[in-house]
Amino acid sequence: MIAAEAEVHPPVSRNRLLFTSGMGWMFDAMDVGLLSFVLAALKADWGLSAGQMGWLGAINSIGMAVGAMMFGMMADRIGRKHVFIITLLLFAIASGLSAFATTLTVLMVLRFFIGMGLGGELPVASTYVSERVPAHERGRIVVLLESFWALGWILAALIAYFVIPRFDKDMGWRVALMLGALPAVYALYLRRKLPDDKPTAPPSAGMPWSARLAALWSDEHRRSSLMLWVLWFTVVFSYYGMFLWLPSVMVGKGFALIKSFEYVLLMTLAQLPGYFTAAWLIERMGRKFVLVVYLLGTAASAWAFGNANTEGALLLYGALLSFFNLGAWGALYAYSPENYPAAIRASGVGMAAGVGRIGGILGPLAIPFLGAQGWSTGAVFTLFAITIVIGALAVALLGRETKGELAVQ
C-alpha cells in the first residue's frame, strides 16, 4: 500500500543539507564538464583518433552504469551517507591520479573508476536528500540540488578558458584534472557535517541484493520500475547524444561562435532558469506535470535546433533545449526516489540510473554512426525528439503522482 512516509530522520537545516550535498553535486558536474575540454587537449597532445576519443568518453559512461547499479544496492545495505562519501572519494582520487597518466590505457582505467564514483553518487545523494526534507517541499529541494550541476559546468568552462591555456599543452589538461581531485578534501568535511541516515540499521540490512532486485519487479513495483527504466534511458540517451554534439553541429553549419567563451556560458546559464522554474512548479503542479511538460518542451526544442539554419535560431533553440532538458533532469531526480519504499529505494533509483547510463553510452555514438549512413542533422535530432516523447508517454501512461509522499512497505 502507498502512503505518506513517517518522518524517521532527525531534523536538519534544509539550507545546510542543500548546500552540503549540492557542493558534492557541483564537483561531479565539474569533472564531467572538464572531460569534454580535456578530450580536445588530449587529441592534440597524444594524437588520438576519433575512435580512441569515442572510447575514452564511452568508458566513463560504462563506469557510471556500473557505479549507479552497484552503489545504489550498497546504499540500501550500509546507508546513504556512507556510500555518498565513498563514491565522492572514489571519483575524486581517480581524477587526481588521472592527471599523471602517461598512456591511454591507464587513463581509460582511471576514467572507468571516475565514472563509477560519479554514477553511484548522483542517485544516492538525491535519495539521501529526499528522505530528509518535509514532504511539502521535497521536490523543490531536490530540483534545486540538481541545479548545482549547472554551477559545476560553469566552473569547468572557467577552468578550460582561464587555467588550461596558461600552461604548456602537456600540462594544461593535467592541471585541470588535478583540480578535479578537490572533492576528496570536501568528502572528509561531509563525513563530519552530514547527519547519519538513522540511529538504527539501514532499512534493508540483511536483505540480499537479489531479493531487492526481485522486489523491484514484484507486482507492487513492476509498473514503476518499467516506467523509470524507460524514462531514464530516453532522457540520458538524448541528453548525452545531443549535448556532446551541440558544438560540432554549430561548427558543421559554419558558425564560429561556438569557439567563444560567451557561447559556452550562454548555453550553461540557460539551464538555471530551467531548474528554478521546475523547482517552483513541481510542488504546485506535481511531478508528472513537470516531467511531461518539460520533456515535450525538450523534444520540440531538439527538433527545432536540428532544423535551424541561422546563428540566432541555433542559439535560441539551443538555449531552450538547455532550459527544458535540465528542468526535466531536476524533476527526474525528485520523482525517482518517491516510487519505492525505504528498503529498496536507493536500489531502485540506482538500477534505473544504471539503465539510463547505457543510453549515455549509445547516445554519443548515434550521431557519427547515423551520419555515416547518410542521415542529416535534422533527421538525427528528430530521432532524439521522438525518443524524448517516448519518455514523456511512459510517465503520462505508467507513472503515478507522488507529490507529498514517499512509498512505504
> What would you report as the CA-atom Rg of the chain, rounded to the nearest whole angstrom?
20
Nearest-angstrom CA–CA distance, 391 and 297: 12
Q: What is the pLDDT of residue 1?
A: 34
What are the distances in angstroms from CA 140 to CA 116, 153, 189, 269?
Answer: 27, 21, 25, 19
Instruction: Specify if 4 maps to a domain.
Output: no
pLDDT at 202: 54
Minimal CA–CA distance to 334: which of 133, 68, 154?
A: 133
In a domain, 407, yes or no: no
CATH code of the domain in which 240 resides: 1.20.1250.20
pLDDT for the residue 113: 93
Q: Is residue 169 part of a domain?
A: yes
The count of domains in the chain is: 1
CA distances in angstroms from 379 to 42, 96, 193, 257, listed in the order given? 31, 40, 50, 23
Q: Are 186 and 88 in contact (CB under 8 A)?
A: yes
Angle ∠(48,51,56) on CA atoms, nearest 5: 75
Q: Is residue 2 part of a domain?
A: no
Residue type at 248 in one-letter notation: S
Q: Residue 122's pLDDT is what?
A: 81
Phi, psi of 373 (to 5 degrees): -85, 5
Domain contains 8: no
pLDDT in the model for residue 198: 53
pLDDT of residue 387: 95
Tell me the C-alpha distance between 260 and 406, whole Å.
Answer: 45
Q: What is the pLDDT of residue 204?
A: 55
* Residue 59 φ then ψ, to 5°: -65, -30
In this prediction, residue 201 carries a pLDDT of 43
| 282 vs 291: CA distance, rounded Å | 9
- Tens-binned pLDDT, residue by residue, of the chain (409 aa): 344 443 444 445 677 778 877 887 788 788 777 777 777 777 777 887 767 777 777 788 899 889 988 898 888 888 888 888 888 888 888 888 988 988 889 999 999 998 898 888 888 888 888 777 777 777 788 888 888 888 888 888 788 778 777 777 678 888 888 887 777 777 667 666 777 665 444 555 556 777 878 888 888 889 999 999 999 999 999 888 887 766 666 666 666 645 555 666 777 788 889 888 988 888 888 889 999 999 999 999 999 988 888 878 888 888 899 899 989 988 898 898 888 888 888 888 888 988 988 888 888 777 778 877 888 888 889 999 999 999 999 999 998 887 766 544 4
Q: Is there a contact between 245 and 54 (Cβ–Cβ < 8 Å)?
A: no
Domain that holds residue 230: 14-196+207-398
Cβ burial, residue 102 (10 Å; 0-12/13-18/19+): exposed
- Predicted confidence at residue 299, as pLDDT, reads 96
Q: CA–CA separation, 311 vs 303, rounded Å?
A: 16
Q: What is the pLDDT of residue 405?
A: 63
Predicted pLDDT at 324: 94
The pLDDT of residue 255 is: 64
* Residue 71 domain flag: yes
The answer to whether position 9 is within a domain reads: no
**104 burial class (0-12, 13-18, 19+ CB within 10 angstroms)?**
middle
145 belongs to a structural domain? yes
Residue type, 35: L
